[in-house]
Structures are given as C-alpha cells and as structure tokens.
Amino acid sequence: MNKLFNFKHFKGDLFGGITAGIVALPLALAFGVSSGLGPSAGLYGAIFVSFFAALFGGTNTQISGPTAPMTAVSMVVTAGIIATFDGDLSKALPVILTVFLLAGLIQVGLGLLGLGKYIKYIPYPVVSGFMTAIGVIILVTQILPSVGYYPEEDSELVNQYESQAKEIILKKILKDEVKENVLVVDDFRKTITKASEITPDQIMKESQTLASKEASGVIGSIKVLPRALQNINWLELLLALGTILIIYGFKRITTKIPSTLVALLVVSGVAIGFGLEYRPIEEIPSGLPIPNLAIFTGFSLGNITPYIFTALTLALLGAIDSLLTSVVADNMTKTKHKPNKELIGQGIGNSIGAIFGGIPGAGATIRTVVNINAGGKTRLSGMVAGILLLIILLALGPIASRIPAAVLAGILITVGFGVMDYKGLKAIPKMPKPEVIIMLVVLVLSSVWNLVYAVGIGLVIASLMFMKKIGDLTAKRSDVKSLSNEKTWKDDNDFPKELKEKVFIKHIKGPLFFGSTSDFQQLIKQIPETATTIIIRMGRMQYIDQSGLLLLLLFLVFV
C-alpha cells in the first residue's frame, strides 16, 4: 500500500488535491448544466471520475472530471435521447446513463486490449477541428442563458407549436391503442374519448418541449437569437458579464487563486446578498449520491443499439483527452505514464460515475497542472479532489443550489473561448490543403450537424488522403511505373550480358501494400517480348500485405 500511494508525499498530495478540487467545483456545476442533466450530474461526475480514475489509472498526478469536449458530446447524447422520449427526462435518464456506462466499459476494454498506444495516431486536423467546434458550440448555446432567455418560457414562441403538439399527442394515443389491441376500424369511441380528455396543460407541456428542442444546438440557438435579443433580462446579462470580467480580470492580479471560483463566489454573493430576483440553477439533491438501478432493471438492447457508435466516440474522445493530459503531466514531473492502465482507470471512473448519475469525464489539463504546481505527486491527490467535492456536496448542496444560472453561463463562455485550438486556426494559411479541408469539414459538421458523425467523417477522409499519399510515395520509391530510371544493384553488375535480353529483372524498393498495387500492375506492360525469365528482387521490400501478395500471385500466373 505504501508503494502504491507513497504517503511520504501526503502533504503535497493533500494541498494539490484540495486546490484541484476547488478549481473543479464551478466547472463541474457548469458542465452539468450544459449537458442538460443539471448541476448535480456534473458534480457527481467530478466526484466519481476523479476518485476512481486516480485510484486505478496510470498517471500519478492526473486530475480527472467533466471536460468541455466530453460535455459537448454528452449534451448531444442527452438532447437526442430526451427527444426520443418526447421530452421526458425521467424516462430518458436510464438510457442516457447506460450510454455513458457503455462508453466507460469500452474504455476499460481498450485498455485491456492494449490499444492505448494507438490513440496517438488520430490525425491532428481532426482533433483541432473538433476542439474548435466544441468552443463554437459552447459559446453559441450559452448566449441564450447569459441573456436570460429560455425558449420554453417564451409564450409567443411556444404557441407557434400548439398545433404540432396536438398532432404528436394524438399520435401517442393511437400508438398506445395499437399496442393495447383496442384500436379497431369499426370503433373509434375509445380514441375519441381519450382525445377529448387531452388537457391544455398537456398541450402546453408538449409545445414547450418542441420549442426547447427547436432552439437547441448551434442552429437552433441562432434561429431564436433575434427573439432572445428582443427579450433580454438585463439582470441575468449583468451577472454573466460580471462573471466573465472577473474571470479574465482576476488572472491579471494573481493565478494562485482560481479566477472561476472567485467569480462564482463574488457574483453569487452579490446576487444573494442584495436579494436580487435572479434565476437560480436547478436544486442539487442533498445527501449521498444514489445508484440509478433503472440502468439495469430497465435495460433494453433496442434502446441502446442506435447509440453504440456514440458511446464509442465518447470513449475514444475521453481516451484522447486523458492521454494528452498524461503527456503534459509527464513533461512537468519528468515521469512516464502507463497509457493502457490510464484508459482502464478512466473507464472505471466513467462507469461508476454513470451508475450514480454523473456525466462522463476525462483527464483535465488545467486541473492536473494546478495539482502538480500545488505539490501533488501521487494518485492520492486525485482521490483527495474527489473526496473534497463529495464533502462540498454533502455540506453545501442547498447553498450551491442558489447559484445564479447566468454565472455558470458566464463561466462556460470563458471555457468556450479557452477550448478552441487557436494554434491550428493560425496555421491554416501554412498547412497543406488536404489537412485544411479535413479540419474545416470536422469544424463545420461538428458545429452545425452532429459531433459524432463529424469525427467519423473526418477520420475517414484523413485515412483516405493518407493512404493516397503513402501509396504515391511508395510507388515512386519502388520504381514500379517506369524502367527508364532503373538502376542496377551492385550484385546485378556481374549478370551475363548474353542473358540480359532473355531475363527481366525488376527491383521493388519499398512496401507493397493495397495503396500501391495499381501501379504494380504496370509491370506486365514493361516486360520485353524477348524475356523468357522474370526475376522480381524484393530484398529491399520491407513489408507486403494481403493485397500486395494476391497481386503478386496473379502477376506470376498471367505472365
């Protein structure tokens, strides 16, 4: 146990964990709100991911918890599943948490299979485009709460969806009756009775769900932005702006105290102390987190199947996020992390966090740096951070529930600016065009369409471009296109002159794989009619795959 935790660094780990936990608190609350599951989900995720990822992980000083990229994907998952369940979060929650649990289990699987070392092969343009898109999504979607506009509370907007809401409710009635086997062509009396029992409150609730759904995401937020600007709540806007100014301004005074925490305490203190009529965040439940057993009791493969790729994306994103942070920690501490063990730790943390209702997380760079600078040296620091957040939950939950929603919106806006990859954006004029295309495709598709699909499309395009480039380079190096520049090898010089017209010699000087096989086919046309014997020299061919082997066999058959 002493070797595992190394208690001689306990003081540094204690201070590092406490400092990192304080930094994590406002971000955990903000990320929870942004995810759509509420501040408690962010806090639960920070508690369990931080503790268990540190306990089982492979990076001693890593602090884990909800991060901007993971939260952005979680937001997409949450919104999509809630829409499937007609806006009912209570019904959708078990399915949402099951997807999070599956992502954690996939991470554990990746670690057990030893795939951690392959994460580094994901192209930079894909990662850069994705990170910048995360920033765009957070910025645009937080404009509405920062000005105090909530689409479901805009009666004029909600009324526009009344007829659509009635149609949806009627469809539900018909669907239920089909399931119950009571709907017959000759008798619609039950259907008519149920339709007549629809209340105005039901119609209003469905209309609010539709309005909220239509205003979600980047496109939805932009659509309702004119209405939001016409209905600004100036108090909420001042609270958000005050938060942003303190976060950026306090950093100029000192970086020893987290500016996000200062902004949270100061602006919330002013709002509460002066009795301002602001909008608070959702209530944070008091007491210990309780496992959501509906994940297991209500499990349905049909509900999860459409989101398997989404869970895989979450797992891979968390893996990339965590391992990049591990590299930062290595550089600062002059140590070497264990990538596969780190993935197992992250997976266990996300799995347990999901069971208790938390959003998924990953290694958090800023919190890890804060931990190291404050003296953290072993995994105890990450566990201390999780325990501190649990104590805050138990002791200050009711007080934290009074935090203004606009304050968290302001914090998220600064996170949105901070998460963008400015280095990648500045490099666009100097980057190769194919890489610029990949970056922009991922950026645009992630921002306005679907984060998960955008990453998949970006990876496919990057892979195809890479294969094309390597195939061209390999073909050029292997000289399979032309004999004009063919150079003899040293041991070819003594070849009998009288046999040169009868023997065709071809050198392969590079790998023969599926990307270069089309050029290899040109060999048949290069063989002179006088040749009766063919020698293919492969002494400098480092690698041949199944496609290359098959083509070589076909070549020998046809000649």
Domain hosting residue 502, numbered range: 490-558
- Rounded-to-integer distance, Cα 131 and Cα 315, Å: 16
Given a cut of 60, whether residue 497 has pLDDT beyond it is yes
Indicate the range of 239-253, 335-349, 392-406 predicted with least confidence: 392-406
Co-location of 539 and 508 in the same domain: yes
Co-location of 260 and 194 in the same domain: no
Indicate the range of 2-16, 97-111, 471-485 predicted with least confidence: 471-485
- Structure tokens belonging to residue 217: 């995401």
- Rounded-to-integer distance, Cα 24 and Cα 258, Å: 10
* The predicted structure's pLDDT at residue 554: 66
Q: Is 279 exposed, middle or buried (0-12, 13-18, 19+ CB in 10 A)?
A: middle
Looking at per-residue confidence, does 303 or 219 come out higher? 219
The model's pLDDT over 256-270, given as tens digits with 9 standing for 90+, comes to 788 888 898 999 999
Mark which of 178, 194, 220 sits at the end of a domain. 220
The model's pLDDT over 194-203, given as tens digits with 9 standing for 90+, comes to 667 778 888 8
Alpha helix (H) residue ranges in 215-338:
217-230, 234-253, 259-273, 294-297, 301-304, 308-333
* The predicted structure's pLDDT at residue 8: 73
- Structure tokens belonging to residue 425: 């954006």
Co-location of 333 and 290 in the same domain: yes
Residue 212 resides in a domain:
yes
Looking at per-residue confidence, does 1 or 527 come out higher? 527
Co-location of 139 and 172 in the same domain: no
- Structure tokens belonging to residue 439: 């970056």
Over range 168-179, report the average pLDDT: 72
Co-location of 410 and 515 in the same domain: no
Co-location of 43 and 133 in the same domain: yes
Given a cut of 70, whether residue 136 has pLDDT beyond it is yes
- Rounded-to-integer distance, Cα 499 and Cα 185, Å: 90
Given a cut of 60, whether residue 5 has pLDDT beyond it is no
| Band of residue 482 on the pLDDT scale cut at 50, 70, 90 | very low
Residue 21 resides in a domain:
yes
Given a cut of 50, whether residue 393 has pLDDT beyond it is yes
Co-location of 210 and 241 in the same domain: no
Residue 307 resides in a domain:
yes
Over range 2-6, report the average pLDDT: 53
**Residue labelled with tokens 């930094």:** 23
CATH number, domain containing residue 548: 3.30.750.24
Q: Provide the percentage of residues in the chain whose pLDDT is more than 70.
A: 86
Co-location of 265 and 204 in the same domain: no
What residues contact residue 220 under an 8 Å CB cut-off, 6+ apart? Answer: 213, 214
Mark which of 453, 482, 503 sits at the end of a domain. 453
Indicate the range of 63-67, 364-368, 443-447, 521-525 predicted with least confidence: 521-525
Co-location of 140 and 164 in the same domain: no
Over range 410-420, report the average pLDDT: 88
| Band of residue 431 on the pLDDT scale cut at 50, 70, 90 | confident
Q: Give the up-direction half-sphere exposure of residue 230: CA atoms within 13 A in the CB hemisphere.
A: 8
Indicate the range of 90-94, 215-219, 460-464, 490-494 predicted with least confidence: 490-494
Residue 323 resides in a domain:
yes
Over range 95-114, report the average pLDDT: 94
* The predicted structure's pLDDT at residue 507: 73
* The predicted structure's pLDDT at residue 483: 41
Co-location of 316 and 425 in the same domain: yes
Given a cut of 50, whether residue 484 has pLDDT beyond it is no
Co-location of 249 and 210 in the same domain: no
Looking at per-residue confidence, does 310 or 146 come out higher? 146
Residue 473 resides in a domain:
no
Over range 185-207, report the average pLDDT: 72
- Rounded-to-integer distance, Cα 143 and Cα 229, Å: 10
Q: Which amino acid is at 62?
A: Q
What residues contact residue 99 under an 8 Å CB cut-off, 6+ apart? Answer: 77, 81, 304, 307, 310, 311, 314
- Structure tokens belonging to residue 207: 């209309």
Residue 469 resides in a domain:
no
Q: Are 540 and 508 in contact (CB under 8 A)?
A: yes
This prediction's pTM? 0.77
In whole numbers, what is the pLDDT of the chain averaged over residues? 83
Mark which of 453, 478, 511 sits at the end of a domain. 453
Q: What is the 3-state secondary structure (H, E, C) of 492-533?
A: HCCCCHHHCCCEEEEECCCCECCCCHHHHCCHHHHCCCCCCE
Q: Which is it for the CA torsion 147, 262, 382, 393, positive or negative?
A: negative
Residue 227 resides in a domain:
no
Co-location of 46 and 169 in the same domain: no
Looking at per-residue confidence, does 452 or 385 come out higher? 385
Looking at per-residue confidence, does 194 or 154 come out higher? 154
Residue of 259, 392, 263, 316 whose CA lies nearest to 119: 316
* The predicted structure's pLDDT at residue 559: 59
Residue 25 resides in a domain:
yes
Given a cut of 50, whether residue 492 has pLDDT beyond it is yes
Q: In Å, what is the CA distance from 336 to each residue of 112, 295, 346, 365? A: 19, 37, 17, 16
Alpha helix (H) residue ranges in 85-188:
89-112, 124-141, 143-146, 155-159, 162-180
Q: In the chain, how many domains are there?
A: 3
Given a cut of 60, whether residue 478 has pLDDT beyond it is no
Over range 389-411, report the average pLDDT: 89
